[in-house]
Amino acid sequence: MGRIKVTVVGAGNVGGSIAQRLVERDWYDVVLVDIVEGLPEGKALDLAEAGPVCGYRPEVIGTTHYEATEGSSIIVVTSGIARKPGMSRDELLETNAKIVASVVRETTQRSPDAVVIVVSNPLDAMAYVAYRVSRFSRSRVLGMAGILDSARFRTFIAQHLSVSVEDVHTMVLGGHGDSMVPLVRYTTIAGRPIREWMSEEDIAGLVKRTRDGGAEIVNLLKTGSAFYAPAASAVEMVEAITRDQKRIVPCSVLCEGEYGFHGLFMGVPVKLGSQGLEEIIEYELSPQERTALDVSGQAVRELCKHVDHLLSKL
């Protein structure tokens, strides 16, 4: 069986880290694309030169052109300006919508059978841009957010309790932003509900830290945003699809009636397999969780209205 071709658009910290994680699996050929002359070529060459040391043999191409992306099975979009301290995800909308629309147009016409994974922010709105521009079915346009948000929540819980993250299981739904909805009722440590482990006050503090997780790293780095965990989360999605793993993970997908949402990209639990989105898994929500998810959905809907206006002018 031949290697699977994955295109990663955006050779910054996130895109470069995704490319590194992919080639180290020795399963993928990677095309790294960026508009900055020399950046993708340099990172691709650096990754190739690590191959003899790390024991991998994939082809790694760095380019400022899209011709080399033809025939990709997966397209990962990380392009866009990074969030700066004090900048909300919403403020990124207009600039990044234009960038993502251009990237998706260029890549999908060369790889019409690919699955698109969007990492650019504001995440849910950018996934909607990709869906609108690509004209792909909803199964083949996904946003990476919930895996990252859930990983952050798991990390904070494990640190608080001094337990292994492998024994912490949770699911974070909703838009990727301040209104995300960690499902506390479904959060367990070694099978026991989180409320048997800690107080409501401690749980609320960890939920808040999860919602502020991206901003916390931005404020610490001062000149950039998170990239190791976002890259790992995107690669987990790539693996679930290319290896047909049937993983149930939270991703931003187009809801058509699920959870009461219509025509809206939202973070929900989905089964990922060779066709991309294979099924949306519906959890029974409490009235409080339902209300929180509706609030999150309304925030995403406002962004998507703005996206519709922007796309009408492109």
Residue 175, SS3 per DSSP: coil
Is 176 labeled as catalytic in the residue annotation? yes
Q: Are strands 115-118 and 141-143 parallel, antiparallel or unpaired?
A: parallel
Per-residue pLDDT tens for 254-269? 999 999 999 999 999 9
Answer yes or no: is pLDDT of 1 > 60: no
Per-residue pLDDT tens for 24-38? 999 999 999 999 999
- Per the CB < 8 A criterion, the answer to whether 104 and 120 are in contact is no
Per-residue pLDDT tens for 69-93? 999 999 999 999 876 667 666 677 8
- Per the CB < 8 A criterion, the answer to whether 98 and 89 are in contact is no
Residue 75, SS3 per DSSP: strand
Q: Which two tokens stand for residue 224?
A: 């950039």
Rg of the chain over Cα atoms, rounded to whole angstroms, equals 19
Residue identified by tokens 């994939």 is 58
Per the omega criterion (within 30 degrees of 0), is the bond before 182 cis? no
- End-to-end Cα, the chain, rounded Å: 41
How far is the CA of 186 from the CAs of 175, 195, 271, 285, 313, in angstroms? 18, 10, 17, 10, 43
Per-residue pLDDT tens for 101-118? 999 999 999 999 999 999
Instruction: Please state the domain extents for the chain.
Output: 4-143, 146-309
> Among 26, 23, 65, which Cα is nearest to 45's?
23
Q: Which two tokens stand for residue 131?
A: 């869906």
How far is the CA of 63 from the CAs of 44, 91, 136, 218, 230, in angstroms? 9, 29, 25, 28, 23
> What average pLDDT does the chain have?
94
- Looking at CATH, the fold of the domain delimited by 146-309 is given as L-2-Hydroxyisocaproate Dehydrogenase; Chain A, domain 2 (3.90.110)
Average pLDDT rounded to a whole number, residues 277-291: 96
Neighbours of 53 (CB within 10 A): 7
Cα 44 to its chain centre, rounded Å, is 22
pLDDT at res. 137: 98
- Looking at CATH, the fold of the domain delimited by 4-143 is given as Rossmann fold (3.40.50)
Residues 6+ apart with CB under 8 A from 296: 173, 174, 175, 177, 179, 180, 181, 266
How far is the CA of 120 from the CAs of 75, 99, 125, 296, in angstroms? 13, 10, 9, 18
CA distance 29 to 60: 6
CA distance 157 to 208: 12
Per-residue pLDDT tens for 204-257? 999 999 999 999 999 999 888 899 999 999 999 999 999 999 999 999 999 999
How many residues does this entry show for the chain? 314
- Per the CB < 8 A criterion, the answer to whether 168 and 154 are in contact is yes
List the beta bridge partners of residue 4. Answer: 28
> Among 70, 50, 48, 49, which Cα is nearest to 59's?
48
Single out the catalytic residue among 65, 160, 169, 176.
176
> Among 152, 105, 118, which Cα is nearest to 254's?
118
Per-residue pLDDT tens for 57-75? 889 999 999 999 999 999 9
CA distance 145 to 181: 12
- Per the CB < 8 A criterion, the answer to whether 156 and 210 are in contact is yes
